Amino acid sequence: MRRATLVPYLFVTPAMLLLLAFGVLPIGVAAVVSTTDMNISGLANWSNVEFIGIGNYVALAGDPDFWRALGNTGLFVAVGVPAIVILSLAVALLLERSGGRLARALRSFYFVPAVTGIVAISLVWGYLYNTQFGLFNYLLSLVGIGQVQWLSDPWLAKFSVALVAIWRGTGLNIIIFLAALQGIPREYREAAALDGAGEWRTTRSIVLPLLGFAIFFVTVTTTIAWLQFFDEPFVLTDGGPLGATTSMSIFLYKEGFRLNQFGYASAGSLVLFAIIAIITVVQLRLRRRDVEY
Amino acid sequence: MSNTDARARRRARPPEVRRRRAISFSIGLVLLVGALSTAFPLLWMVAGSFKPQREAIDFPPTLLPQEPTLANYLRLFTELDFGRYLGNTVIVVLIGVFGLLFMAMAGYGFAKFRFRGKGALFFLVLATLMIPVQVTMIPTYLILNGMKLTNTLVGVALPTLVSGFGVFLFRQFMSTIPDEVLEAARVDGAGEVRTFFQIVLPMSKPILAVQAVLAFITGWNSFLWPLIVASDQKLYTLSVGLSLLNQQLAVDPALQMAAASVMVVPVLLVFVVFQRYVVQGFALSGLK
């Protein structure tokens, strides 16, 4: 460790400037802008911007679109989080159990969706989901099921866009679970086997409890990700049909960049931030009450 | 009695072994089916990209192209502006190299120096990790607009150039470089800059590789910032050009699949070659 005069500042300055400009400063700007009626004319000339106090927040509370976006986001969290946590945990356990060359070869297939770009992937899934010439409807027609409106039925569309996100989201978490599984000492399982515990029993009573932290971590990060759910519905359905897949983030994007209501959207973004913070804190609290192994 | 016991065990073993084998086999099978269905959309994409338009909307669909053609790719780069989008994407990724350098420098500063305000600054670095992009989206646009950087490729790259998590990872890794090595370099008369580039960076190769691969993937795939910042079509990256294609050419899935392949296949290649680093990077994100 060195004490030097200017040198360390020179090393950290470029990164700190960028982080301050695009990570810290925006919070303050958002807070200020959220109390104004800032819009496109305000962008051109600051004198057109007026302070309206909590006006935007009051308007939000009375905006049915905001409440619907919030409801949709709640549904996405309720469907998406358990699906991703359970699926990636199951795949990680199976991969770990089977070991060997086969598992190592197959692993990559599960990881791959995590590195693909969402826009490209949405085109591919949109093609699969297509009502007239999509593969899914063809396969269903083989068993006598007629045309399914994957993306234009308001209820089904919610699950169709969620499925794409689940497909893309499991890879990263499988990797995290596999890393955690490698951290479990072999002796624990051997001891359980010596005591006569079967494989299922060992998994349930030894492995899963030891994975507690990883499961918790994945649950928290996955919840945050679903609260911010944006890419898939944005590209696949643009929040439609009739707002059925409009998440909070899409609502904010549309208010901000399509309708240029910067003040209104900033207020909404701070509300979303508060929701994310509260849910995360609650999860952390619940965890602390858990038994430590 | 021990005799009957042993006999019982001998009789019991074969079914037990058979059962275990059966379980192993079915687990392998489940994993195989899961792997294939996970990868299937990507295979469907590549296969579709070589189909003529008519075949791509044929019912029943064909798995492999019956009359493979490169026409879709040709159209992308002649009729449509995908050459430019590809070039812009490459530029954005290359600007990312500076981000990598800045993060490494900051990581080194935080790991190996003592200075006033260090604790507070590092706290800020970590605090940026908790702020969702939805909150920063509009202010960042306003800030970029104030800096006259909207509608430039630098503006596209700037908001995500440096990540707090990247700085954190560099710091963690560089803390493990022994002070003696740095002292020795200084005793030999190397300046601070030279020490950094010739000692610290080469010693940080493992973390540098992980971060470079991750930076490539996020830069290549980035969508939100190019969408918000680049309103001029000349500055579109692949992802924005592709989303435009989504709206305009919904009736030509073969062309769409070709465009999607142009975007996905390079990342797949990087993933195949550098899988080790990608997996390490993802596993590290479990530390967050």
Rounded Cα distance, A2 and B180, in Å = 11
User: Which residue of chain B has the CA closest to A92?
Assistant: B31
Record: contact B137-A269, CB cut-off 8 A: yes
What confidence category does residue A289 fall into, taking pLDDT thresholds of 50, 70 and 90? low
What confidence category does residue B94 fall into, taking pLDDT thresholds of 50, 70 and 90? very high
User: Which residue of chain B has the CA closest to A235?
Assistant: B243
Give the pLDDT mean for B186-193. 85
Closest partner residue to A16 among B36, B121, B223, by Cβ? B121
Calculate how close chain B gets to A286, using CA atoms only, in Å. 19
Record: contact A120-B45, CB cut-off 8 A: yes
Task: Indicate if ipTM > 0.90.
Answer: no
Rounded Cα distance, B164 and B183, in Å = 28
pLDDT at B288: 43
Chain B residues closer than 8 Å to A257 by CB: 141, 228
Give the pLDDT mean for B59-63. 78
Between B102 and A183, where is the model more confident? B102
Mutate to test the interface with B, among A17, A49, A124 (most CBs of B within 10 A): A124
pLDDT at B107: 94
Q: Please, what CATH class does the domain formed by B72-287 belong to?
A: mainly alpha
CATH level 3 topology of A63-289: MetI-like fold (1.10.3720)
Calculate the average pLDDT of chain B: 85
Calculate how close chain A gets to B78, using CA atoms only, in Å. 20
Give the pLDDT mean for B130-157. 86
The domain limits of chain B are: 2-49, 72-287
Chain A residues closer than 8 Å to B238 by CB: 117, 119-120
DSSP states along chain A: -EE-SSHHHHHHHHHHHHHIIIIIHHHHHHHHHTTB---HHHHH-GGG--B-TTHHHHHHHT-HHHHHHHHHHHHHHHHHHHHHHHHHHHHHHHHHHH-HHHHHHHHHHHHGGGGS-HHHHHHHHHHHH-TTT-HHHHHHHHTT-----TTTSHHHHHHHHHHHHHHHHHHHHHHHHHHHHHTS-HHHHHHHHHTT--HHHHIIIIIHHHTHHHHHHHHHHHHHHHHT--HHHHHHTTT-STTTT--HHHHHHIIIIIS--HHHHHHHHHHHHHHHHHHHHHHHHHHHHSPP-
High-pLDDT (> 90) share of chain A, %: 23
A73 interface with B at CB cutoff 8 Å:
no
Calculate how close chain B gets to A224, using CA atoms only, in Å. 9
